[in-house]
């Protein structure tokens, strides 16, 4: 079915039709100074003479769709013979950005003056809801998609402290400005992590992982080593030995790249709509999570950082072993909005690994019970030939995950289940600021048209 723009709100149709993708690429810039803002000092010191103006629901909806809109079903055009690796997929729905293994692991929160919403990911919808959302996206009905995807879980604007190192000095003057809308990608690394473990510990990849913070002993997978009769290749000369840090860095980079694509799309949509917008620092361990009201845990800094017993003792004696908070999950009205695959949401890591296996291949898994409307012409016929996961791979992945949890008290070992890196702040620009300090070509006609709409009658 061809994509349509017939469902676009009247106020967006002309604005989106008036710009090409190539135009957006050429003209995209970070533009920060919005209506109602004040630059406190320096050569660009300026006080806007206009009132701040919030984004409309349609404008937020267009940006939200650009960041994480559901667009259809993943093609999943992979090899599904037993050694082909196709069963690495853990999701079969597609969004406007690609995602490793089809997981769609990055969630998007939207913060404005009145509320905070979380936008549900494809896996958070029932099959029927997902089909309706895909059809709305095909019609271009972005505002209705936005309404059906968002869950309001806080009133008022949420914003972490702005002093270093919650933020950086360059952002302090504009952070959380009235009238702006803030789009915060939230990485959940646990599903990608466990799914990756099931893949790398199978009979075809045979990876062997060592704990570099424990004298490079096997990270729970010693009994699966080939040297002990198992299936994992523990001879480093074969190039299949890694460390926990290397494994976790790989997973983190996979997820963060997905977030980066969201931010690029947000920037291109803001440019097309004639809005200001810029990516900015959100890379604090717990600042945004406390501001959003996440369920938090804590542990001594020595354990959080993986320090050895000697460093731990020294920190305790110096009374510097402070407690470090970290996010566990997001809950609202008794429901889990963001639930990682680790305790306390699962009793053990064994249960968490089994939950991932069931998500893929259980009775209601993506290859078994959620096949309606998939991109294949014969979904049931394809799925029937998708190989399962071997018990050896499941056992090795479980042993590894249990090792990480028992030795480091959290999963992953090097960072929290949820992580933020950058956010995107969008606003209506004050054209008069740019006309005073910049060359005329620094703004497009779309920016000037938006300014005229916002200031008419002021």
Residue 166 φ/ψ, nearest 5 degrees: -65, -30
pTM of the model: 0.94
pLDDT in tens, the chain (458 residues): 444 566 788 778 778 777 788 999 999 999 999 999 999 999 999 999 999 999 999 999 999 999 999 999 999 999 999 989 999 999 999 999 999 999 999 999 999 999 999 999 999 999 899 999 999 999 999 999 999 999 999 999 999 999 988 999 999 999 999 999 999 999 999 999 999 999 999 999 999 999 999 999 999 999 999 999 999 999 999 999 999 999 999 999 999 999 999 999 999 999 999 999 999 999 999 999 999 999 999 999 898 888 888 899 999 999 999 999 999 999 999 999 999 999 999 999 999 999 999 999 999 898 987 766 788 999 889 988 999 999 999 999 999 999 999 999 999 999 999 999 999 999 999 999 999 999 999 999 999 999 999 998 66
Nearest 5°: the CA angle 191, 197, 130 is: 30
Residue 458: predicted pLDDT: 63
In the beta sheet, which residues pair with residue 350?
Answer: none
In the beta sheet, which residues pair with residue 278?
Answer: 425
Residue 14: predicted pLDDT: 75
Of 116, 10, 62, 44, nearest in space to 266 by CA = 62
Of 444, 415, 325, 334, nearest in space to 26 by CA = 444
Half-sphere exposure of 29 (CA within 13 A, CB side): 12
Residue 306: predicted pLDDT: 84
Fold classification of 10-455 (topology level)? NADH Oxidase (3.40.109)
Which residues, 6+ apart, have CB-to-CB distance to 66 below 8 Å?
A: 96, 265, 266, 268, 269
Q: Cβ-count burial of 342 within 10 angstroms (0-12 exposed, 13-18 middle, 19+ buried)?
A: buried
Of 65, 55, 51, 69, nearest in space to 11 by CA = 55
| Residue 43, H or E segment | none
Q: Cβ-count burial of 168 within 10 angstroms (0-12 exposed, 13-18 middle, 19+ buried)?
A: middle
What are the residue boundaries of the structural domains of the chain, listed by start? 10-455
How far is it, in rounded angstroms, from Cα 434 to Cα 286?
35
Which residues, 6+ apart, have CB-to-CB distance to 48 below 8 Å?
A: 33, 34, 35, 36, 37, 38, 430, 432, 433
**Share of the chain residues as helix, strand and coil, in percent rounded to the nearest 5:** 40, 20, 40
- DSSP code per residue over 191-203: HHHHHHHHHHTST
């Amino acid at each position: 079915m061809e994509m349509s723009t017939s469902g676009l709100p009247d106020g967006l149709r002309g604005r989106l039709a008036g710009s090409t993708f190539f135009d957006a690429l050429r003209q995209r810039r970070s533009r920060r100074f919005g209506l109602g803002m004040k630059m406190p000092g320096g050569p660009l010191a300026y006080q806007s003479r206009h009132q701040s103006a919030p984004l409309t629901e349609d404008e937020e909806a267009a940006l939200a769709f650009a960041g994480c809109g559901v667009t259809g079903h993943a093609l999943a055009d992979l090899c599904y013979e037993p050694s082909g690796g196709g069963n690495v997929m853990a999701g079969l729905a597609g969004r406007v950005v690609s995602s490793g293994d089809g997981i769609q692991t990055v969630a998007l929160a939207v913060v404005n003056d009145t509320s905070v919403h979380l936008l549900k990911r494809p896996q958070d919808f029932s099959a029927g809801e997902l089909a309706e959302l895909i059809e709305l996206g095909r019609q271009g009905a972005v505002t209705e998609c936005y309404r059906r995807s968002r869950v309001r879980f806080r009133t008022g604007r949420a914003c972490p402290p702005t002093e270093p190192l919650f933020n950086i000095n360059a952002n302090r003057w504009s952070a959380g400005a009235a009238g702006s809308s803030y789009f915060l990608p939230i990485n959940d690394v646990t599903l990608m992590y466990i799914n990756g473990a099931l893949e790398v510990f199978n009979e075809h990849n045979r990876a062997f992982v060592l704990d570099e913070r424990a004298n490079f002993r096997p990270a729970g997978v010693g009994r699966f080593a080939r040297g002990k009769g198992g299936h994992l290749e523990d001879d480093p000369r074969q190039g299949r030995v890694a460390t926990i840090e290397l494994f976790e860095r790989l997973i983190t980079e996979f997820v963060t790249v997905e977030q980066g694509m969201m931010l690029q799309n947000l920037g291109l949509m803001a440019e097309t709509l004639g809005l200001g917008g810029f990516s900015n620092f959100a890379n604090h361990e717990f600042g945004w999570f406390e501001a959003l009201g996440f369920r938090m845990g804590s542990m001594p800094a020595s354990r959080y950082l993986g320090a050895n017993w000697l460093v731990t003792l020294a920190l305790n004696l110096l009374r510097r072993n402070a407690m470090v908070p970290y996010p566990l999950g997001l809950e609202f009205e008794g429901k889990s909005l963001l639930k990682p695959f680790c305790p306390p949401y699962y009793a053990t890591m064994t249960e968490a690994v089994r939950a991932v296996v069931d998500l893929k291949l259980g009775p209601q898994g993506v290859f078994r019970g959620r096949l309606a409307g998939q991109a294949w012409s014969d979904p049931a016929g394809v799925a029937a030939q998708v190989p399962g996961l071997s018990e050896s791979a499941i056992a090795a992945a479980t042993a590894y995950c249990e090792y990480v949890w028992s030795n480091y008290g959290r999963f992953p070992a090097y960072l929290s289940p949820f992580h933020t890196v950058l956010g995107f702040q969008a606003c209506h620009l004050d054209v008069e600021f740019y006309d005073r300090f910049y060359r005329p070509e620094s703004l497009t006609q779309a920016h000037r048209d938006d300014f005229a709409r916002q200031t008419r009658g002021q």
